Chain A
Amino acid sequence: MTNHHARIFIVDDEPLLTEMLSDYLSGRNPGFDIRSFPTGEACLQRLEDDPDLVILDYYLNSREKEAANGIDILREIKARNKALPVIMLSSQNSYGTAGRSISYGAMHYVIKGQDAFEEIGKLIDANIQTS
């Protein structure tokens, strides 16, 4: 697949992370169409826009207690489109959360931190062909 304008969805309820990741990925590839969502539900409503990859926070209910958490959103995304690559994000260095994410179909589990941006960029490069 050659994709000049890959569409990337970022789902995170923390605006600082969303903004920094969006800026980083735009700087790395200005052709990316990056869209941010503060909840998983908002992301699911736009899945019909056919993203090439989703970056999904594991904990999505720190602000809205009733919001679905990332693992539920991951399961729903995979139920709708099994082939859609999902990178799970969390600041928890835990085999449990990582294993759960992978078992439900996440392509990779990235720990939030200063190295996360480059790691996500490389994962996107490896999984979405750009030119």
Chain B
Amino acid sequence: MDNPLVDLSFLRQFAKGNQSKIRKYITFYLETAPPTLERMQANAEQEQWEALAINAHSLKPQADYMGIAALKSVLTDIEDQARNGAVNDIGRLVDSAVQLHREAEVFLRDYLSSL
């Protein structure tokens, strides 16, 4: 069971196929990513660029471990732009990160159900 947006091969290899660990890691991601993205949306609306960079930075490795490369890439761009003050496009990027997470979340929840 795979998906163009989510590549769980690293997680499977890391957990050595242990389904309870895979479940635990995915559940942690699904619990922590939404509030982080909500904080990022609030940061962008309130022009809190340093906080936005920190929140994008903190979510980036989690996207990496879940194999959501597109989300990791967008988070890298958000962090870079927030740190460099080049924020003209940053609202669109935050919206894109939220959308990518939502699409990945649907797959990850289906995957959890299949375990």
Q: Which residues of B contact A62 (CB under 8 A)?
A: 36, 54-55, 57-58
- Nearest-CB distance from A70 to chain B (Å)? 12
Q: Which of B21, B24, B62 lies in contact with A17, CB distance below 8 A?
A: B62
Q: Count A-B pairs with CB separation below 8 Å.
A: 53
- Tell whether A114 pairs with B10 under 8 Å between CB atoms, given A19-B24, A92-B57: yes
User: How many Å lie between the Cα of A116 and that of B28 in the bound state?
Assistant: 19
Are the C-beta atoms of B28 and A113 separated by less than 8 Å?
A: no
Q: Which of A20, A90, A91, A117 contacts B25 (CB 8 A)?
A: A20
Contacts of A17 in B (CB 8 A): 61-62, 65
| A16 in complex: contacting residue of B32, B51, B57, B79, CB < 8 Å | B32
Contacts of B14 in A (CB 8 A): 20, 24, 114, 117
A23 touches B21 (CB 8 A): yes
Q: In chain A between 15 and 47, which residues have their CB closer than 8 angstroms to a CB of chain B?
A: 15-17, 19-20, 23-24
Contacts of B51 in A (CB 8 A): 65
The number of residues on chain A lying at the interface, defined by a beta carbon within 8 Å of a beta carbon of chain B, is: 21
- Which interface residue of A13, A61, A91, A112 has the most chain B CB atoms within 10 A? A91
Q: How many Å from the CB of A17 to the closest CB on chain B?
A: 6
Binding site for B on A (CB under 8 A): 13-17, 19-20, 23-24, 59, 61-62, 65, 90-92, 112-114, 116-117
Interface residues of chain B, those whose CB is within 8 Å of chain A, are: 10, 14, 21, 24-25, 28-29, 32, 36, 51, 54-55, 57-58, 60-62, 64-65, 79
